Structure 1
Amino acid sequence: MNRRFALLVLGAMVGGVLLGFLCNRFMAPEQASQVADGLNVVSVAFLRLIKMIIAPLVFSTLVVGIAHMEDSASIGRIGVKTMLWFVGASLVSLTLGLVMVHLFQPGVGMSPPTPDAAAETVKASGMTIKGFVEHLIPSSIIDAMAKNEILQIVVFSVFVGTAIAAIDDKAPAVLTFAEQVANVMLKVTGYVMNFAPIAIFAALAATVTTQGLDVLVTYAKFVGGFYLSLGLLWVVLIGAAFLVVGKRVKHLIAGVRAPVLLAFSTASSEAAYPRTLEALQKFGVSRKVASFVLPLGYSFNLDGSMMYCTFAVLFIAQAYGIELSLGQQVMMLLLLMVTSKGMAGVPRASIVVIAATLAYFNLPEAGVLLILSVDHLLDMGRSATNVVGNSVAAAVVAKWEKQLLPEGEVEAEAETAKAVPA
């Protein structure tokens, strides 16, 4: 997302708050409710556009990612160690988000009106073994896609991707088709997200119209709590890197400062990829490891995005006064662990994943609109965190594989490079 889009989002937020305040202050409650209903039409339209892209997007991106995993597996030990680190980092990110949102309780007391369509499903459904199996294994992939059953789509995609990777020639026609579908859906997602500022304006205006400016206090608590959680995640990641890399971790963080700031300002970790790769090699990570771990990390190690998913889903549940059992929360972590792996490079991927997770647990899908107005602000922080997480992963794997140049050799290479005439 470029700077122009960020300004549009900021303008939409300010305009939405201003319109909502005026309506709340100078209109009778009945009139304000009618205005809010009219504004919600825009928000609902955007929500349906998001739901429209979930099934084909998850299927195509996950199939392509898994089908290409054989290339990663050929690297052997590096692939295994990288994936182990990614799984561990993912669990830490998801669990930390879960703990922090329970600690801050940012959604408690918000009490938004429950949409009529979700009125009968506002209580989270109980989870049984039979119900889990029925939700896990699709009886028909067409039916699963029609109903946006995200976990069933994931299961089918895993089988398809694994089968393609197991075939000698990788079924080039099928794989090419899946890649083309993924590319088309990424473009469609980009088109849909162009409407985000309008939806943000309408969602925030409708919320403030019915609830007044007091609701902004809740948003401040939500944003502040999430950024504090991200800060804690940074401490954990850098601390883990210190245990492996040692004191050189401070040079790593200093080296990736520029790409982290780029990711933050553009709200896109992908925009920082070239600079991150360059910074890692200057730090001493071998090109072999950096060129493997970093792109894989953009698919399987989105630490900031995963933390946001758990934080946002439980924020929405708290806002509607819905309690999820411990078992359901564990199931949510596992679901997000899998679904987040197929969403790399997707604009506002977290919104898509959150929308699918809400539907899976029978939480009001309109809850997405509660976080939409501040999503871009939060996306800046989680994008920067994704860069930090992947940089740490590359450095740790390089150290494990003895592919991290000693600090003295890195400085010597830098001096040699300066001495070589252009």
Structure 2
Amino acid sequence: MSTSTPSSPTRNPLRALGRIPFGWQVLIGLVLGVVLGLVAAQIGPVAVTEANPDGANWLTTILHTIGTIFVTLLKALVPPLIFLAIVTSIANLRGVTNAARLAGKTLLWFAITSLIAVSIGIALGALTSPGANSGVDAGTAEASSTQGGWLDFLVGLVPANFLGLEGSAGDDGSISLTFNALQILVISIAVGIAVLSVGEKAEPFLRFTGSALEIVQKLLWWVIRLAPIGTIGLLGNAVASYGWSAIGQLGVFTADVYIGMLLVLLVVYPVLLKINGLGVGSFFRGVWPATSLGFVSRSSLGTMPMTQTVTERMGVPRHYASFAIPLGATTKMDGCAAIYPSLAAIFVANFYGVPLSVTDYLLIVLVSVLGSAATAGMTGATVMLTLTLSTLGLPLEGVGLLLAIDPILDMGRTALNVTGQSLVAVIVAKREKILDRATYDAASRTSFQAIQAEQADTAADAAGPAPAGEREKAGATA
């Protein structure tokens, strides 16, 4: 009897790539982004044409396109995500007896952590004077087309339409639509309160929003899977477009921002955890997937499903996490709305030789604590910065001085944002005695794939028990 050796299965490179842990995929994306960015910078610009007014070479164009597509996909899912998440989270509080107390405590801790963060930013700026001896060219000063003022901020709270959409006409006659995340937040809160008021008759609507939220979050998970590729484009384009020279010109400012964020992340947050009787290691192991994803995605809202998932995995009840995290993703910005604008305002004042008084520093604190919702959780912090500069009476043209390194700073800012959002939820849950302490203490560092699988199991449980045949198949697969 002859025996045949079974042929080895053909290796699928895509399947092999999928087995690489997501964190390693992101790290590879970061390295490739820097390398390709340096290569693109070495190639240099090409001839300026009507089709290529910036003179970007082919590699820079590819990197820019990849990064733009990734951010655009995130932005496309943000409006329905905000609306569905906020409405559902408010509705989830209808069975909680201390809902108003939880909401008040959450906002209070948002303010406390923002106050500490902005104080650190001001202290660093006062000690180092980042704009006094910078090598940045004054010719790069340019007022941002996106600006914020207190009047604009208040008017912007009023929705122009139910969808929070805004239209603008381009020079070529084209019409582009954008959304105002803050207006969508206001609409969502109003609808959520209306749902509570209507009561039982709103149950069909709540079932619809709950199902729609699951679908949007699944779509967002698919986009998040593209984060390593998006990282290559975003970081590569930043390096190619601005190079390391921009960081060198703004070296003190860049160092101040990252030192400030590290002080908040590695000193302030652990102290707050210890004060509230919580283990530091458990928190950082549990929150790591959200922190790392926030770093590469540069969007608090895009990271929101991951932030909520890791927060629940640390023992925070779902009914509270589903309220605190969406709220934090739009209003809780220790990086974008506290450390960065305070240091940026001091930089602009130093650069233009404008002395800042004690009153000015107090105004920076006030703007950071009260105006953080103006950042609305998307990439960048231009609105918050212009709001701070206009409040202090500083030249808005100073925004242009800092744009060159904004993508590099925005990574750290967003990572700090999402970590702080989860921190507040954990602290409030502990103080209100609703935190599952055993689950929190047992929190371990988890892979992206494990979290995604857990979400799939949660969705399956919500849909009801599977047929017996499917259960047996699932068990055999496991």
Fold agreement, TM-score > 0.5: yes
Give the letter aligned to residue 276 of structure 1: M
The question of whether the paired residues in 2 share the 8 Å contact of 1:112 and 1:320 is answered with: no
Partner of 2:161 in structure 1? 140
TM-score by length of 1: 0.65
**Cα–Cα, structure 1 residues 294 and 196, in superposed 2: closer, same or farther, change >3 Å?**
closer
Give the Cα–Cα distance (whole angstroms) in 1 for the partners of residues 266 and 70 of structure 2.
31
The reply on whether 1:71 has 2:98 as its aligned counterpart is no
Q: CA offsets, 1:281-322, max 9 Å, x none?
A: xxxxxxxxx787666554556799632342586399679969
Please, what is the CA RMSD of the aligned residues? 4.8
Structure 1: runs of 5 or more not aligned: 242-248, 281-289, 341-349, 405-422
The question of whether the paired residues in 2 share the 8 Å contact of 1:97 and 1:310 is answered with: no
The reply on whether 1:225 has 2:260 as its aligned counterpart is yes
**Cα–Cα, structure 1 residues 83 and 368, in superposed 2: closer, same or farther, change >3 Å?**
farther
Partner of 2:56 in structure 1? 34
Q: Within 5 Å, which residues of 2 pair with 1:196-235?
A: 196-215=227-246, 222-234=257-269
Give the secondary structure class of the aligned counterpart of 1:306: coil
Give the Cα–Cα distance (whole angstroms) in 2 for the partners of residues 114 and 333 of structure 1.
32
Structure 1 residue 91: deviation in Å?
A: 0.5
Partner of 1:415 in structure 2? none
Give the Cα–Cα distance (whole angstroms) in 2 for the partners of residues 113 and 10 of structure 1.
35
Give the secondary structure class of the aligned counterpart of 2:56: helix
Give the Cα–Cα distance (whole angstroms) in 2 for the partners of residues 395 and 360 of structure 1.
34
Structure 1 residue 331: deviation in Å?
A: 5.7
Structure 1 residue 114: deviation in Å?
A: 11
The question of whether the paired residues in 2 share the 8 Å contact of 1:263 and 1:269 is answered with: yes
| Larger radius of gyration between Structure 1 and Structure 2 | 2
Query: May I ask how many residue pairs the two structures share in their alignment?
Result: 357
Give the secondary structure class of the aligned counterpart of 1:147: strand
TM-score by length of 2: 0.58
**Cα–Cα, structure 1 residues 148 and 387, in superposed 2: closer, same or farther, change >3 Å?**
closer
The question of whether the paired residues in 1 share the 8 Å contact of 2:29 and 2:228 is answered with: yes
The reply on whether 1:306 has 2:326 as its aligned counterpart is no
Give the Cα–Cα distance (whole angstroms) in 1 for the partners of residues 205 and 287 of structure 2.
34
Q: Within 5 Å, which residues of 2 pair with 1:16-415?
A: 16-24=33-41, 26-30=42-46, 34-35=56-57, 36-72=60-96, 75-76=97-98, 79-104=99-124, 121-122=144-145, 124-128=147-151, 131-142=152-163, 144=165, 146-215=177-246, 222-234=257-269, 237-238=272-273, 240-241=275-276, 249=277, 252-253=278-279, 257-258=281-282, 260-264=284-288, 267=291, 268-270=306-308, 272-273=310-311, 276-277=314-315, 297-298=324-325, 306-311=333-338, 314=341, 330=366, 333-334=369-370, 336=372, 350-351=377-378, 370-371=406-407, 375=411, 388-398=423-433
The structure richer in helix per residue is: 1
Give the letter aligned to residue 89 of structure 2: G
Structure 1 residue 330: deviation in Å?
A: 4.7
Give the letter aligned to residue 195 of structure 1: L
Structure 1 residue 166: deviation in Å?
A: 1.0
- Structure with the bigger RCO (C-alpha within 8 Å, sep 6+) is 1
**Cα–Cα, structure 1 residues 155 and 258, in superposed 2: closer, same or farther, change >3 Å?**
closer
The counterpart of 1:11, out of the listed 28, 31, 44, is 28
Give the secondary structure class of the aligned counterpart of 1:192: helix
**Cα–Cα, structure 1 residues 164 and 387, in superposed 2: closer, same or farther, change >3 Å?**
closer
The question of whether the paired residues in 2 share the 8 Å contact of 1:63 and 1:158 is answered with: yes
Give the Cα–Cα distance (whole angstroms) in 1 for the partners of residues 111 and 203 of structure 2.
34
Partner of 1:347 in structure 2? none
The question of whether the paired residues in 2 share the 8 Å contact of 1:60 and 1:182 is answered with: yes
Q: CA offsets, 1:82-139, max 9 Å, x none?
A: 3332121100222333333444469966969999xxx7744735433xx445312124
Give the letter aligned to residue 199 of structure 2: D
The question of whether the paired residues in 2 share the 8 Å contact of 1:304 and 1:385 is answered with: no
Give the Cα–Cα distance (whole angstroms) in 2 for the partners of residues 235 and 69 of structure 1.
29
